[in-house]
Chains A and B, each alone.
Chain A
Amino acid sequence: AQSVSQHNHHVILSEAASLELGCNYSYGGTVNLFWYVQYPGQHLQLLLKYFSGDPLVKGIKGFEAEFIKSKFSFNLRKPSVQWSDTAEYFCAVTSGTGTASKLTFGTGTRLQVTL
C-alpha cells in the first residue's frame, strides 16, 4: 500500500525566510503527486500537482515543488514566505494512470509565519 510521510509537523518561520517542506512517498510504480493547502477556516485548496514531464512544477502563490524519483520525494519550496502563507500543508499521492483512485495524504505540516 502506498504511504506518504511529511517529516516536519510544525514549522515556524519569519516573513521573507525561505521554505522547504519535505514529502516522501512509498510506492514503486507510477505516482501522481499533489500539494494541498488549508488556510485557517478555509477548505483544502490545490497548490500544485505533478503527473509527468519536467520534475520542477510551479504552483499558485509562488510555490514550487521538485519531484526526485530516486529519492521518492516531492518537496515543496517557496523562496520568501509571507504572513499569509500561515496554513497547513498536505502532500498527497495517487498511483497509476488508469482508474481514478483515492488520494493518500501525509499527516500535514503546520506552517506558522511570524512578522
Chain B
Amino acid sequence: EAGVTQSPTHLIKTRGQQATLRCSPISGHTSVYWYQQALGLGLQFLLWYDEGEERNRGNFPPRFSGRQFPNYSSELNVNALELEDSALYLCASSPGLAGARETQYFGPGTRLLVL
C-alpha cells in the first residue's frame, strides 16, 4: 500500500514569491494535516483538512493557506514568502474515523528554502 506522498521534494524560492506544496494521502484516508518542521522550532501544526473542509489551523499567519480536493489530496500555499518560512513541510493523513485517537501517517516532506 502506498504511503503519503508529497511533491516536490525540494523547492527553492525567493522572498516575496509564492510556494505551492502538494500531498496525496494514503488511499482511503480522508483527513490531511500539514506541519512545519523548522530548525530549532520542532514540529508545529499548520492546518487540518477533512472531507474538503478546513477543520483547524495552527498559530500561523493567513498567508499560509490550503485546500483539499475531492480526491482528498491537498495543497499548501504560502504567499509572500519570508526567509523564516524555510523549513521542512510535512503532510500526514489519517482515516478520519477514530476522532482524537486517529493515528497520523507522515509523508517524506517538502524542503522549502527561501532565499
Contacts and interface: CB of A to CB of B under 8 A. Distances in A.
B56 A43 contact: no
Given A44-B90, A90-B43, A100 B98 contact: yes
Interface in A21-37: 30, 32, 34, 36
Given A43-B106, A43-B109, A101-B56, A107 B100 contact: no
Interface residues of A, number: 28
A100 B44 CA distance: 16
Interface string B11-42: 00000000000000000000101010000001
Interface residues of B, number: 30
B67 to A, nearest CB: 18
B42 A96 contact: no
B109 to A, nearest CB: 7
A105 B42 contact: yes
Interface of A: 30, 32, 34, 36, 42-46, 49, 51, 90, 92, 94-108
19 contacts: A30-B100, A43-B3, A43-B109, A45-B106, A46-B103, A92-B43, A94-B102, A98-B99, A99-B55, A99-B99, A100-B50, A100-B94, A100-B96, A100-B98, A101-B56, A102-B45, A103-B43, A103-B45, A105-B35
